[in-house]
């Protein structure tokens, strides 16, 4: 492709709305343009990259024995109603009606539709196991679309679904997908970890996420260096950490603490450390209110709380008016003693002694409170968020936490969808048994953003060869010079004819402009044809290396061929 003909409107300015490198660089290198919040168009460079990622995904899925098909994105509501997800998806589902008033949605994920397809099209248990997949556009009206294609409202997902008759069969199908995912992310050159994930409200018996380590990641992952334990913080098990508490029990006492609404204000006014307090936070989960208690130096994990309650809806901090109504006090004075709603205490709270809690009365706290003696929680469970320095639940070592981008998710679904939609086969006794399912997703365009997060510098993107939109760029320094132009044209033709995706910057522009663009769009190999063309020499440069090497024309071409993997 000639740059003079390519729709590649690169931007010099850093777009104000882009907070992270991948978003900035995808806009600047003219890969994407924004249409609306979380909705993007892919321009030629973006689309080529997307297609390259899809190719890798497709090859590895096919190799793993999965079969590709393509479902509509426009889906009738019935199956989602049958599984209950029409309601569960709530505001994150895009809904519409046709001219006959029939309900449809734009598919956020396709478990229901694949289950129905297998139910309608597979007539014998002998046709199982089966793993089907598609690479297709998904729609989710995300609460906070951001970071460009990292969290968008329309995105490309590779979603696969496995159908087995036995648990062992599911394990084998799951394992095949696990291996395919590793192969895909290895080929994309991503530095990733696999973490135990929350299978929470979706049900199912196990799930793992593929996470790319990145400071801009929205997920937090707990990891133990000693034994290798790795888990999403939504799932990571917290072990109570010992602290020094006064051992002598005293009667509970009410103290005036007029200006202490927060733990910091309390530590200042009472002169005791944060871990001596127990925070009581009022949460709304679905249509019920509950109190969640954690030690003052800890945080409640809303997903653990949601899962504990088995709720499909997120746990959210209650509005101040509801807190006032429930505790009869201003926000900041809630406590477990005498509270009318269920109290869920973190395990660590039960190991505290002589704690300070809110008195459910504005301006007052209770001190010397003993769990078990002064209040009994409805349930004691692990509801806090794991932190750096926590004890590893597996080996007792030390936990570190880091941020990650979820690029893939594999899930043992079990029989939730097959039961709800009646996908069954008769067993040897003639009894109908529900098919055991797994589901497996990869965020295709999120992968692009993740690759850029891990592969860029101040000047632009540094594409790994595998998904680079173009593998080699030939730059002619002076498009008006006949010798230079002839050599550059020859090089471009030779590489293109050999099947190497080659970009030719043939523009009548200053060399500085061309080099800046080349660095920005991140093509892995650059061959510059300049003054020394007359001597048969060119400059050979790798985007991920320092400086350049002077080479003769034929050697440069051969090296470019070799590196791009197309050498015959």
Binding site for ligand ATP (CB under 6 A): 109, 140, 142, 151-152, 155, 157, 406-409, 441, 443, 446
Q: How many residues bind Mg ion, per CB under 5 A?
A: 1
Q: Is residue 363 a contact partner of residue 256, using CB atoms and an 8 Å limit?
A: yes
Question: Could you tell which of Mg ion, ligand ATP, none binds residue 384, using a CB distance below 5 to 8 A set by kind?
Answer: none
Residue 449 C-beta: closest distance to ligand ATP, Å: 8
Rounded Cα distance between 384 and 275, Å, is 14
Residue placing its CB nearer to ligand ATP in the complex, 440 or 492: 440
Residue placing its CB nearer to Mg ion in the complex, 243 or 416: 416
The alpha-carbon radius of gyration of the chain (Å, integer) is 29
Question: Could you tell which of ligand ATP, Mg ion, none binds residue 408, using a CB distance below 5 to 8 A set by kind?
Answer: ligand ATP
Buried-state track 501-526, b at ≥16 Cβ within 10 A, e below 16 = bbbbbbbeeeeeebbbbbbbbbbbbb
Contact segment (CB under 5 A) with Mg ion among 14-22, 178-186, 406-414, 430-438 equals 406-414
- How many residues are given for the chain? 568
Q: Does 409 bind Mg ion (CB under 5 A)?
A: yes
Question: Could you tell which of ligand ATP, Mg ion, none binds residue 157, using a CB distance below 5 to 8 A set by kind?
Answer: ligand ATP
Residue 79 C-beta: closest distance to ligand ATP, Å: 17
DSSP, res 435? P
Count each helix (H run) and each strand (E run) in the chain, helices first: 14, 31
Q: Quick check: helix, strand or coil at residue 553?
A: helix
Residue placing its CB nearer to ligand ATP in the complex, 110 or 295: 110
Residue 337 C-beta: closest distance to Mg ion, Å: 39
Q: Quick check: helix, strand or coil at residue 277?
A: strand
Residue 470 C-beta: closest distance to ligand ATP, Å: 25
Residue placing its CB nearer to Mg ion in the complex, 171 or 218: 218
Residue placing its CB nearer to ligand ATP in the complex, 406 or 473: 406
Question: Could you tell which of ligand ATP, Mg ion, none binds residue 407, using a CB distance below 5 to 8 A set by kind?
Answer: ligand ATP
Q: Does 23 bind Mg ion (CB under 5 A)?
A: no
The closest alpha carbon to 175, from 165, 162, 188, 191, belongs to 162
Rounded Cα distance between 63 and 517, Å, is 37
Question: Could you tell which of ligand ATP, Mg ion, none binds residue 459, using a CB distance below 5 to 8 A set by kind?
Answer: none
Cβ atoms < 10 Å from Cβ of 415:
17
Residue 38 C-beta: closest distance to ligand ATP, Å: 7
Q: Which residues contact 381 (CB under 8 A, 6 or more apart)?
A: 304, 308, 344, 345, 346, 347
Contact segment (CB under 5 A) with Mg ion among 89-97, 98-106, 363-371, 408-416 equals 408-416
Backbone angles phi, psi at 38, to 5 degrees: 70, 20
Calculated CA dihedral for residues 462, 466, 467, 469, nearest 10 degrees:
80
Question: Could you tell which of ligand ATP, Mg ion, none binds residue 530, using a CB distance below 5 to 8 A set by kind?
Answer: none
Residue placing its CB nearer to ligand ATP in the complex, 99 or 144: 144
Residue placing its CB nearer to Mg ion in the complex, 23 or 409: 409
Residue 434 C-beta: closest distance to Mg ion, Å: 23
Residue placing its CB nearer to ligand ATP in the complex, 203 or 511: 203
Tell me the HSE value of 199 on the side-chain side, using a 13 A CA sphere. 16
Buried-state track 73-93, b at ≥16 Cβ within 10 A, e below 16 = bebbbebbebbebbeebeeeb
Residue 526: which H helix or E strand, with range? strand 525-529
Q: Does 276 bind Mg ion (CB under 5 A)?
A: no
Residue 104 C-beta: closest distance to ligand ATP, Å: 20
Rounded Cα distance between 538 and 555, Å, is 9
Residue 406 C-beta: closest distance to Mg ion, Å: 6
Give the position of tokens 């003769």: 552
Residue 497 C-beta: closest distance to Mg ion, Å: 44
First to last CA, the chain: 22
Residue with the closest Cβ to ligand ATP?
443
Residue placing its CB nearer to ligand ATP in the complex, 201 or 272: 201
Residue 200 C-beta: closest distance to Mg ion, Å: 10
The closest alpha carbon to 294, from 305, 286, 284, 285, belongs to 305
Residue placing its CB nearer to ligand ATP in the complex, 453 or 506: 453
Residue placing its CB nearer to ligand ATP in the complex, 219 or 539: 219
Residue 226 C-beta: closest distance to ligand ATP, Å: 28
In the complex, the residues that contact Mg ion under the rule CB under 5 A are 409
């Amino acid at each position: 492709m000639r740059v003079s003909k390519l729709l590649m409107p690169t931007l010099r300015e850093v777009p104000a709305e882009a907070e992270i490198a991948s978003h900035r660089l995808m806009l600047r290198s003219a890969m994407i343009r924004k249409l609306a919040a979380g909705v993007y168009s892919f321009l030629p460079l973006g689309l080529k990259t997307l297609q390259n990622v899809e190719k890798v995904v497709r090859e590895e899925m096919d190799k793993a024995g999965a079969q590709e098909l393509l479902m509509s994105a426009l889906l009738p509501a019935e199956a989602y109603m049958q599984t209950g997800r029409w309601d569960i998806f709530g505001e994150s589902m895009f809904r519409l009606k046709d001219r006959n008033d029939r309900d449809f949605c734009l598919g956020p994920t396709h478990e229901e539709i694949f289950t129905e397809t297998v139910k309608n099209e597979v007539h014998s248990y002998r046709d199982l196991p089966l793993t089907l997949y598609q690479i297709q556009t998904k729609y989710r009206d995300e609460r906070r679309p951001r970071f460009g294609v990292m969290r968008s409202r329309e995105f490309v997902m590779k979603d696969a679904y496995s159908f087995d008759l036995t648990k062992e069969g599911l394990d084998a199908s799951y394992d095949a997908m696990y291996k395919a995912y590793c192969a895909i992310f290895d080929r994309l050159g991503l530095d990733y970890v696999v973490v135990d994930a929350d299978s929470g409200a979706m049900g199912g018996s196990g799930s793992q996420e593929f996470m790319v380590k990145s400071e801009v990641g929205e997920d937090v992952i707990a990891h133990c260096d000693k034994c290798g334990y790795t888990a999403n913080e939504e799932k990571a098990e917290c072990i109570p950490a010992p602290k020094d508490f006064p051992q002598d029990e005293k009667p509970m006492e009410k103290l005036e603490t007029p200006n202490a609404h927060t733990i910091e204000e309390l530590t200042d006014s009472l002169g005791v450390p944060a871990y001596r307090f127990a925070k009581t936070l009022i949460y709304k989960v679905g249509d019920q209110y509950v109190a969640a208690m954690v030690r003052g130096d800890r945080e409640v994990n809303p997903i653990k709380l949601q899962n504990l309650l088995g709720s499909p809806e997120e746990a959210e901090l209650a509005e101040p008016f509801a807190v006032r109504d429930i505790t009869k006090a201003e926000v900041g004075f809630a406590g477990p003693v005498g509270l009318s709603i269920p109290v869920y205490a973190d395990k660590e709270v039960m190991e505290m002694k002589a704690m300070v809690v809110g008195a459910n009365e504005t301006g007052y706290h209770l001190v010397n409170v003993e769990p078990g003696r002064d209040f009994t929680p409805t349930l004691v469970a692990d509801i806090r968020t794991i932190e750096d320095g926590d004890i590893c639940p597996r080996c007792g070592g030390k936990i570190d936490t880091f941020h990650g981008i979820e690029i893939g998710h594999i899930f043992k679904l079990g029989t939730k969808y097959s039961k709800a939609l009646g996908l069954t086969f008769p067993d040897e006794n003639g009894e109908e048994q529900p098919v055991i399912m797994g589901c497996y997703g990869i965020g295709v365009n999120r992968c692009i953003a993740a690759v850029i997060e891990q592969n860029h510098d101040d000047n632009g993107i540094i594409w790994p060869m595998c998904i680079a939109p173009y593998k080699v760029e030939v730059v002619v320094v002076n498009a008006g010079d006949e010798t230079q132009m002839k050599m550059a044209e020859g090089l471009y033709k030779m590489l293109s004819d050999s099947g190497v995706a080659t970009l030719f910057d043939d523009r009548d522009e200053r060399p500085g402009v061309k080099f800046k663009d080349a660095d920005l769009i991140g093509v892995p190999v650059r061959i510059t044809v300049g003054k020394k063309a007359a001597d048969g020499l060119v400059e050979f440069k790798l985007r991920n290396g320092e400086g350049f090497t002077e080479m003769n024309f034929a050697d440069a071409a051969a090296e470019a061929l070799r590196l791009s993997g197309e050498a015959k």
